[in-house]
Structure 1
Amino acid sequence: MSKAKTDVLTPSQFMFILYGSVTGGGILALPNSLVKISQQDAWLSTALGGIYPLYMSVMCIYISKKYPNHNILFLSKKYFGNFLGNIFNLLFLLPFILMALGITAGYANIIRVYSSEFLSPFKLLIFIIFVCLYTAHKGINVIGKMCEIAFYITLPLIILPLFNLKKSSILNLLPVFGSGFNNILKGSIETMYSYIGPEFLLLIYPYINDKKKIKRATLIGILLSIFIYIWIVFITIYYFGIDVTSKSLWPFLAASEIIDIPIINNFRYLFMLSWSFIILRCITIYYFASAYILKDFMKKVDIKKIYFFVYPVSVFLCMFFTNEIARRNFFGKIMPIMVIFLVIYVSSIALLVRIKD
């Protein structure tokens, strides 16, 4: 893709894209799976799991410093050769495709349960995927602006629970370290899977217009993402305790029903509307990444044709994940493989940059 003026990112847009690529639909469900492992210490596991996105961000900062104008797709072919490099790039594509499919299907399942039971999964998927693909094809600059706007729209969702703390008790979080260090460590590994996303920066850092601010923008974006994850797990357990949290598929969404605003009859629907910006933003980022990498394999093919191809394929594949339990079981098995590959792949590129340059 050529870097036209519409494909240039400011440092703040770069930061919000990082935040948007990490904080997605998994936030709603993370407390549910985490309390089953580390119980009331799940928020500590979330903090410890932040090592993964921090590590990936440091790798991105290092690689971008050495090659500010070339992304990981170029470096993969440079160091591994065209044949192996393309194979690794294809494998690098899979996490973005799978995350796009998984989050899209998960979002459709949430919508059906909480607001649009009358709509079939097929109709919802057609609409959701069309909106995200249409936005993605507009380019990285539009995505940057969207991420920035979405952050400010959804920021109140993070702040509002502070005004209802009296409706529960801090005892739900005690005793701290009561679950044991081994369980906290196991929970942190589970959290790492929800932190997938910072790898997207390895594709787009050449588009930032001020390369000197990559480090600052990256660290702020990733630390903000980690803080949001910790806060959401913390406040969900604070409100419900571990028993209710472990039985709710989307416990943080259920926590929104506790928030009482006098002029709003049902805050849940306002919450769903605002949270939709977060999920749609995340899906858009992953679809953009998928099309971007596919374009690297098909340089002579117009990017619009790639999006047209991705559309029906995505709708078809998402239909296999309309059962929420089955969706979580599938991604629970495949996510560890993706994380291991991403760590090895990105670390290898960084190591080769260090050794050869």
Structure 2
Amino acid sequence: MISGINLGEMEMNNREKILKENDYNLTSSQYTAVVFGTMVGVSTISITKGIVRYAHQDLWISTAVGAIFPIYIFILTMVIFKKSPGENILTLNRKYFGKFAGGLLNLILLVYFLITLLIIGNTYIDMITTFSAGFLSPFKVALAVFAVSAYAASNGLRVVAKVSQIALYLTFLLILPSIMALKEAKIINIYPVFESGFSGIVNGGIEAFKQYLGIEIIFIIYPYLKQKDKMAKVTVNAILLTTLVHVWIGFISVYYLGSDVILKSDWSFLLVTESVTISLINNFRYIFILVWSLIILKSISLYYSALLFCLKDFTSNKFQYKILAFVVLPLLVLLCIEFENIFPTEEILNFITISYEIYLIFLGTLMAITVSIKSPKEQRKN
């Protein structure tokens, strides 16, 4: 009787383990979509806003220079991955730096994902209420978007990854029609090339770093890639696709609008979509905003998942993701509504963003060095 009970418990535990693996293990295409999805979202259509101040008509070159940031994060991750393929950075921080220091490093990462989630959520609310649903209150929009994201994130990383796959295809379907803007663009808008000089392009590239934020999610999710031998290939594919999207949006925006117009516009690529005319579609811009909203929902769901990973590091193992996802929901809605009071100026947000860029580079570099030094010692001991 006792052995029968133990056998039943073992079978139940095995089923739970299989369920968990199915919920979180990612295929190569899903992994690519997740990494791409964290870097392409709400701010992508306004990517030119900050860069144009430095690079002017060369801003599209600066968007390519900005790809240095995800490439460096990728290199660091590969070093960590080769030494500890089954443990993500949250586990490694506590393993190598202890409960207190490791917990502090994880807490800073948690706050980063929280703030990024609020920034995306607030920007999404602004876009929706400005361009398509002004009759809705910010509270209703925030509640709807975070509730949907909480539901998606609570069902496991694989569900969010499948949504990310759809969003990846939608991203290219939405951007492809902007090719039509080429016939109305003026080549003088991008000439002379390199006029902003080396320093202008580099400074624009540094500004473009923030458009690639999100790549750091690979610090957390790499153990969940099924085909670990394809880690390098799928991550590089995601970075290349992201860079392609950013460079094209930067190029077509300045080519069609010119740097002077971009300086005065918060959503420059939306102005480009006005040039798109498709039979049977009266207003492509409206369609664009509607579909892009779904892409932003994907981004919010991804960052919601990353936040849950960090929160789980500070909670009991019995505290399930499904419960955790909805426990933090009211807090996220409240913070998003109070966003303007928490972060009253753009300068504060820029400072926070730059600070976290530096922190992510520091954290990744520190861990890459640590595992390179300590991992061989651990192997010799074993």
Alignment TM-score > 0.5, same fold: yes
1:327 deviates by 6.1
| Counterpart position of 1:111 | 128
1:189 deviates by 1.1
What CA distance in whole angstroms lies between the structure 2 residues aligned with 1:327 and 1:61? Answer: 37
| Counterpart position of 1:126 | 143
What CA distance in whole angstroms lies between the structure 1 residues aligned with 2:95 and 2:349? Answer: 32
What CA distance in whole angstroms lies between the structure 1 residues aligned with 2:105 and 2:186? Answer: 49
Preserved contact between residue 321 and residue 327 of structure 1 (Cα < 8 Å)? no
Match 1:137 to one of 141, 154, 172: 154
Deviations 1:209-259 (A, max 9, x none): 111011100111111111211111111111100111111111112211111
**Highest Rg: 1 or 2?**
2
Please list every run of at least 4 consecutive aligned residues from structure 1 whose deviation after the TM superposition is greater than 4 angstroms. Answer: none
Preserved contact between residue 239 and residue 255 of structure 1 (Cα < 8 Å)? yes
Match 1:350 to one of 358, 368, 376: 368
Q: How many residues get paired? A: 356
Specify the code of the residue in structure 1 equivalent to 2:328: V
What CA distance in whole angstroms lies between the structure 1 residues aligned with 2:339 and 2:279? Answer: 38
What CA distance in whole angstroms lies between the structure 2 residues aligned with 1:322 and 1:248? Answer: 20
Match 1:89 to one of 90, 96, 106: 106
What CA distance in whole angstroms lies between the structure 1 residues aligned with 2:146 and 2:225? Answer: 27
CA separation of 1:107 and 1:150: change in aligned 2, threshold 3 A: same
1:309 deviates by 2.5
Match status 1:36 vs 2:53: yes
What CA distance in whole angstroms lies between the structure 2 residues aligned with 1:355 and 1:204? Answer: 23
Specify the code of the residue in structure 2 equivalent to 1:128: V
Secondary structure of the corresponding residue to residue 124 of structure 2: helix
Greater alpha carbon shift after TM alignment, 268-277 vs 1-10: 1-10
| Counterpart position of 1:320 | 338
Identity %, equivalent residues: 39
1:142 deviates by 0.6
Match 1:51 to one of 68, 79, 89: 68
What CA distance in whole angstroms lies between the structure 1 residues aligned with 2:211 and 2:265? Answer: 18
1:121 deviates by 1.0
Secondary structure of the corresponding residue to residue 68 of structure 1: coil
What CA distance in whole angstroms lies between the structure 2 residues aligned with 1:138 and 1:329? Answer: 37
| Counterpart position of 2:35 | 18
Trace 1:65-76 onto structure 2 (pairs within 5 A).
65-76=82-93
Structure 2 alignment gaps of length 5 or more: 1-15, 376-382
1:190 deviates by 0.9
- TM-score, L = length of structure 2: 0.90
Match 1:259 to one of 252, 267, 276: 276
| Counterpart position of 1:60 | 77
Specify the code of the residue in structure 1 equivalent to 2:372: R
1:326 deviates by 4.7
Deviations 1:123-159 (A, max 9, x none): 1111111111111111111111111111112212221
What CA distance in whole angstroms lies between the structure 1 residues aligned with 2:98 and 2:90? Answer: 11
What CA distance in whole angstroms lies between the structure 2 residues aligned with 1:31 and 1:344? Answer: 27
What CA distance in whole angstroms lies between the structure 1 residues aligned with 2:45 and 2:191? Answer: 22
Structure 1 alignment gaps of length 5 or more: none
Preserved contact between residue 57 and residue 258 of structure 2 (Cα < 8 Å)? yes
1:356 deviates by 1.6
1:305 deviates by 2.8
Preserved contact between residue 54 and residue 203 of structure 2 (Cα < 8 Å)? yes
RMSD: 1.6
- TM-score, L = length of structure 1: 0.96
What CA distance in whole angstroms lies between the structure 1 residues aligned with 2:137 and 2:344? Answer: 18
1:314 deviates by 0.9
Deviations 1:14-45 (A, max 9, x none): 01100001111111222122112211111111
Preserved contact between residue 154 and residue 277 of structure 1 (Cα < 8 Å)? no
Match 2:265 to one of 248, 251, 257: 248
Specify the code of the residue in structure 2 equivalent to 1:126: L
